[in-house]
Amino acid sequence: MMTVRLIAHTPEPEKVVAAAAKLCYSDAHIADLLDGLNEEKTARFLEMLSDLGHASPIEHASFTFGIEGVSRTLLAQITRHRIASFSVQSQRYVRLDDFRYVIPPEIEAIPEAKAAFIDSMNEDAARYLDLVKKLEEAHTARLVAEGLPEKQARAKASKQANEDARFVLPNACETKMVVTMNARSLLNFFRLRCCERAQWEIRLLADEMLRLVYPIAPHLFRTAGPACLEGPCPEGKMCCGRAAQVRQKYARQKEQANA
């Protein structure tokens, strides 16, 4: 099951962004940037930045998430967001003796499809562990023959076995990661991945990340969400046709967070 935690963020992120904006539009000295930046003035600076489309100051606020229970399919998508930092559990160094996987909801909803999917995952797990064993034994024998002590040979062989055996693992295989994005990158991420046309798993992730950051920086993320919240859908003929419902959904979520 997907789990998302906000594990760190810039202290007082909105105030930091407002201070950066203040520097851009005044002759304030660095030592005085935070002076007078109460909640009202901070909100005013952030609204001004949004209205002007001046996005660079919001890059000074960053947010770090711990994410687990997601698939390698999701990993391939989220790493396309290049202005971010990723630390991902390695299949090279971590042997998946406890093989876990993500079942897509559409498969989960059909008993026959779910049974076939689970059978396939069990087969993949068995093949992976069998391949690990065969590779490890072969590599250990070779390294011992080359003169390496058996304990050292087996440790090295184990890593080599993991490195190649992982090639049989499916996209459904669970992974975990730590992800850091600045607020500007997050807004872009939400714009693209909260969209109804985004793949279901990364859309769920984006919604959960937005739910976590919004209470911390409500002015910074007041327009956060899919592109249709701020104007017409940019998807053209591929539009989901549910823009009104989507706007209601995010308005309701933000109202609940503000309650």
| Binding site as annotated, residues | 56, 77-82, 90-92, 166, 182-184, 188, 193
Distance between CA atoms of residues 204 and 202, nearest Å: 5
Distance between CA atoms of residues 151 and 156, nearest Å: 9
Which 8-state DSSP code applies to residue 173?
B
Q: 51 vs 55, 199, 247, CA distance in Å?
A: 10, 30, 20
Active site includes 142? no
Please give the full DSSP string across the chain, using - where no structure is assigned: --EEEEEEE-SSHHHHHHHHHHHHHS---GGGTTTT--HHHHHHHHHHHHHHT--GGGGG-EEEEEEEEEEHHHHHHHTT--SSEEEE--TTTS--SS--BPPPHHHHTSHHHHHHHHHHHHHHHHHHHHHHHHHHHHHHHHHHHTT--HHHHHHHHHHHHHHHHGGG--TTBEEEEEEEEEHHHHHHHHHHHSSTTS-HHHHHHHHHHHHHHTTT-TTTTTT-S-GGGTSS-TTGGG--S-HHHHHHHHHHHHHHHH-
- Indicate which residue of 95, 154, 193, 252 is catalytic: 193
Binding residue numbers for FAD? 56, 80-82, 182-184, 188
Binding residue numbers for dUMP? 77-80, 90-92, 166, 193
- Residue with structure tokens 């109460």? 38
Q: Which residues form the catalytic set?
A: 193
